[in-house]
Copies of this chain bind each other. A is one copy, B any other.
Amino acid sequence: MIGEHSSKQYDNELEAIRSKVLLMGGIVETQFTDAMTCFRVGDIEHADRVIAGDDAVNQLEVSLDDACSHLIVRRQPTANDLRTVMATIKVITDLERIGDEAAKIARMSKNLHSRGVVGVNHFEMVRTIASETSDMLHDALDSFARLDGKQALALIAHDVVIDHEFRSIMRNLITFMMEDPRTISSALDTLWVAKAIERIGDHAKNIAEYVIYVVEGKDIRHTKPAVVSTQSDE
């Protein structure tokens, strides 16, 4: 049995890990914003910094995974406490993948701008999906920080909008490509950027699902939206 003292230590250590995860979240948020700036203005040096910055995110993943393992071994959490650690481990993976996608966007920006942009205003095409995804990621981190199940649920519902927006971008790009085949290469770069953004939305949604898992103690992954509801009314 774990006494109150040990349980308090556990809480403190868990809170320290959660703070670092939020720090990691802040870094990938900035990486994403910076990558979109590169895509908009074509600043290749800036893009290189975003790509290099992914290393720091990767190292954070390894060290945070390690911290979670140590916490489990030393504090031997109860089933209830373990749920939070497990969810945190999964959140860390998603954050690392968001970092990967941001680096991908930076690489595509380099490609596109070094080749010379043809025909289309590429940033304009992804402006909406980028800003909605950015909000979604911010809300996901906020709901993780405050363990706010309601906020998490709201943003899970929002992922459909992102997917819809992505399909609309794809249709537009196909139209451009058919009208002027010279735009094909740069349209594909933009398509990969849109895809990376949509994936960031997916990861934000995953984070929200883990928040609900912690708050409500139920695993809502792979549950149809209609089945999901918050238990609390406050």
Contacts and interface: CB of A to CB of B under 8 A. Distances in A.
A73 B78 CA distance: 6
For chain A, which range describes its interface: under 10, 10 to 19, 20 to 34, or 35 or more residues?
Answer: 35 or more
A149 to B, nearest CB: 18
Given A70-B79, A222-B59, A222-B62, A170 B184 contact: no
- Copies of chain A in the complex: 2
A186 to B, nearest CB: 11
A101 B62 CA distance: 26
Interface stretch (A35-43, A156-164, A173-181): A173-181
Given A73-B77, A82-B69, A58 B221 contact: yes
Interface string A47-89: 0000000010011011001101110110011110011001001
Contact of A72 (B65, B72, B195, B222): B72
Interface of A is mostly: helix
A30 interface: no
A44 interface: no
A185 interface: yes
Given A69-B86, A70-B79, A93-B90, A174 B170 contact: no
Interface of A: 55, 58-59, 61-62, 65-66, 68-70, 72-73, 76-79, 82-83, 86, 89-90, 93, 170, 174, 177-178, 181, 184-185, 188, 191, 195, 219, 221-222
Given A72-B82, A76-B76, 11 more contacts: A62-B219, A62-B221, A65-B86, A69-B79, A69-B83, A70-B79, A73-B79, A90-B93, A174-B184, A174-B185, A195-B195
